[in-house]
Amino acid sequence: MSQTQSIATYDDNNIFAKMLDGDIPYHKVYEDDKTLAFMDIMPQAKGHVLVIPKQKAVDLADLEPEYASAILMTAKKVMAAQRQVFAREGIVQMQLNGSEAGQTVFHYHIHLIPSSIHELGRHAVTQADNAELAKLAQQLAGKIIE
42 contributes a contact to ligand AMP by CB under 6 A: yes
Q: How many residues does the chain have?
A: 146
Choose among 105, 83, 86: nearest CA to 15: 105
Nearest to 3 by CA among 65, 64, 61: 61
Choose which of 6, 17, 26, 91 interacts with ligand AMP (CB under 6 A).
26
Residue 129: CB minimum distance to ligand AMP, A: 13
Q: List beta partners, residue 96.
A: none
Instruction: State how far the alpha carbon of 96 is from the alpha carbons of 5, 8, 99, 108, 117, in Å.
Output: 15, 13, 8, 8, 15
Q: Number of residues interacting with ligand AMP: please give it, by CB under 6 A.
A: 12
What binding mask, one character per residue, do residues 105-134 give for ligand AMP by CB under 6 A, x or -? x------------------x----------
Q: Which residue in the list 27, 107, 109, 111 is annotated as catalytic? A: 109
Catalytic residue check, 109 = yes
**Are the C-beta atoms of residues 137 and 29 closer than 8 Å to each other?**
yes
Residue of 30, 36, 40, 137 that binds ligand AMP (CB under 6 A): 40
Task: Note whether 144 binds ligand AMP by CB under 6 A.
Answer: no
CB of 72 to ligand AMP, least distance (A): 17
- Does residue 112 come out as left (phi exceeding 0), alpha (psi in the -120 to 50 range) or beta? beta
In the complex, least distance from residue 145 CB atom to ligand AMP, rounded to whole angstroms: 24
Angstrom distance (rounded) from CA 126 to CA 29: 20
Q: Which residues participate in catalysis according to the annotation?
A: 109
Contact set with ligand AMP (CB under 6 A)? 15, 26, 40-42, 50, 96, 102-105, 124
